[in-house]
Structure 1
Amino acid sequence: MQIISCRRALLALACLSAAAFAAQPLVAAAQTSPGTVLFSRTISGTVDGITTPIGSAIFSIADDGSHERQFTPYTQGVFNIPAVGGYDDLGVGNEGPWLENAFNPKGTYSIYVEAHSTLPHYNFTDYHGKYYIVNAYGVRTPPMFFGSDDLEDPRAGPSYGSVAWGPAANDQIAYANSADVLPHKHPPCIHLMQSNGSNNHVLWCASKWYYRGIEAIRWSGDGHSLLAYAVRTDPTPNPEADIYVINTTTGAATKVEVNSYAPYTLGSVGDISYDGHEVVYGVTYDSNDPGPCHVASNQTYIQWCAKNLLTGQSVALVDPSQAVTFGFQKQVLISPDGSQAFLFARPSSTAGDAEIYAVKTDGSGIRQITSPCVPMQYGTSLWWVPVRLSPDGTRMLANCNVEQYPPAPVVYTNKIMVVNLADGSARFVTNGTAYDWHTQ
């Protein structure tokens, strides 16, 4: 396996630690509030007469808005991002489904990918690049993986995707053996390794010919389980995936659900509770499929569901009054105790406003959490995207994406907010797109 050698990685991490963390870690050892947010910002330019993002950089900031640091430079055609999956939506909110864990358990290092675009950037394009580990001051290790391109077609050479760092109980890195945007590997597998490259091993492989890739790996908080989407080889216009939960010790897999859109095409990204026993996810709406989720009557494209893996019971997450329709093609969060799901919905009376709602995973108790992060007026639309919950389940990091038109051209603003889940009050952190949060 083409992974950096143990000696090489240990030396790099040791040098980084001596150089940077003698002064201050990314999050202090005896961490107190505020926590630390990882986020990205884009720069725009004109390509073929179209105004479009042409590069992006990664930053960190305390969640009270202080101590902003830029980790990576702005370079045209280079997108420093947490993951490639979901990044095609740069022009309309930049809110791709990035639920992979970027921080290490202590919040002292994080993972990102330096993706070079074939075009400066607009619409859909190919990426080539490498994964890195970076510290609090933007000093990075050598590339995580050998080879010239971690994002190449896996049929042509080594390829890596959904790289996610585990929690305190399991300080390992999980990754798939194909790049997120090019899932075509037989068999598609999930690997685990230590951050220094040691103990690299295959944890689980999906069926060799039935599936062609793994996407959207998500750790449970206790480190005992991984949620993952196995993308089918079916030659359909909209690739579908089956959802699995994998035991990180034994490699045993439990199939949670079938018929979900692949996350990085038309799909959505689910979440798993702290103990790995409760999962929330989206499935395609199909009245011919059995089960309470596929046949829920008030959804059109995708149905959000919750499943208890101990009892096997599935519940459709809907608004019985049909006043609210839960959105798809976004990410959903689950509370650490597995009792609530948080997802965005668009009230039928306000088509331009998509807020975050909480619904109990037994299907009851829907309530609105957020409210507009800017005044709603003619030409304004906004949509919230949940990013991360605090470990105690009382706060949420979320992106509030705003589109303003007129005047022309359309103006996009991405606001990073910390939301109090008890009363819905929200505190502005900075502008950008958040993708991870280390807090206690």
Structure 2
Amino acid sequence: MNDVSTNSPVAQRPAHVTDAVTYDFDMFGDAAYVADPHKRILDLVKNAPPIFWTPRNGGHWMLMTHSANFHASRDTEGFSSEIVPQAMIKAMMAKMPPGSPHIPQPLPITIDPPDHTAYRMPLQRAFSPKAMLGLQKSIRELAVDLIEKMKAKGGGNFVDEVAEPMPVQIFLKMFGLPLERQQEYRTLVKEHMEGNQNHDPRAIVARMLKLTSIMRETVLERKENPQDDLISMLWQSEINGKPTTLADLENYCVVLFTAGLDTVVNGISHGVLHLAKNPDLQRELRANPEKIHGASEELLRRYTFTVPLRRIAKDLNFQGVEMKTNDRVMLFLPAADLDSSEYPEAERYDLQRQNSVHIAFGVGPHRCLGSHLARLELQIVYEELLARVPEFRLDPDKPVTYHGGHVVGPDAVWLRWN
């Protein structure tokens, strides 16, 4: 049974939702989920309907199967990324009094093609595989520095010591933001992610304005004094043939800031947690480091951690389930990558798995733009950690703690070694 005291209030079930597709689950507050997310996900895969409506967090759909997530991710006409339709946003903007601040949107992830394509294009070059390989040396140097500092202590909280500072510092350097403010930025991102449970438009706007205000000075300075960074590159780009504006830059900053400072942290933490629990896997990878690339991909499949949000754009029957316009839908990718119909013995981590093509980074037009960078960071961390630190294990006196929500992962992973 769930500890319902941690769950959000129950919403009234819509008339089109039947008993057969209703299941009580709170992706933010479910006690079992927050205690051990992927154990709870396996329980949902076995016991919940493959597509279900939950009354928690205002009521929304959960897509559990690989097939449902794959097809919904590619159907932008039925499953819209415009959680608030652009027409509604433009109407709201038009009613605002003169001199009102620009309300930033996390573009391009909250718009659909063809506008999505136009806004995503300037970012493609910056996050291409070739561009990311150019960062390999600096990523490795940073990973070595952080791991060696932790090694000298004989253990510690891997999340705080390595998993968080490494991708955060890499992103801040790419973006051109001052490294000395990394803790301030990271704290703001945590507040922003935790606030995603609040769907009040006023709260959403306040969070967006807070994110852009902290970066505005750097953004404006780069327009006048461009450097070799992402902000400067975006100032020199065009969207639909027009030069980027301050509003465009603020929109970009919101989505890149939150993605760059949060998602990879969780991926690295999940992977090292699994390694700490499995000394045999550590030994195999130390003896055969060429297997680390494949090991990293299987870790991403086994511990997928992002849950994108969609809005039903038109009434539809999706895989036998009636959905109505403006219903909210969670693409529950962690469950999709644990679907036994797609991956035999999906719950088992298998270094020799034949089908290793996961959807941890999503599929379709909104596939994660930073996946090449994330893969590089993950692989380098595993390589350097296994090469430099003796066989490590979890500290039995300090249990692992997790958070739920749209990006699920460990808050603390305490390691020890002899």
Normalising by the smaller structure, the TM-score range is under 0.3
TM-score normalised over the length of structure 1:
0.22
Larger Cα-atom Rg: 2
TM-score normalised over the length of structure 2:
0.23
Structure having the larger proportion of residues in helix: 2
Structure having the larger proportion of residues in strand: 1
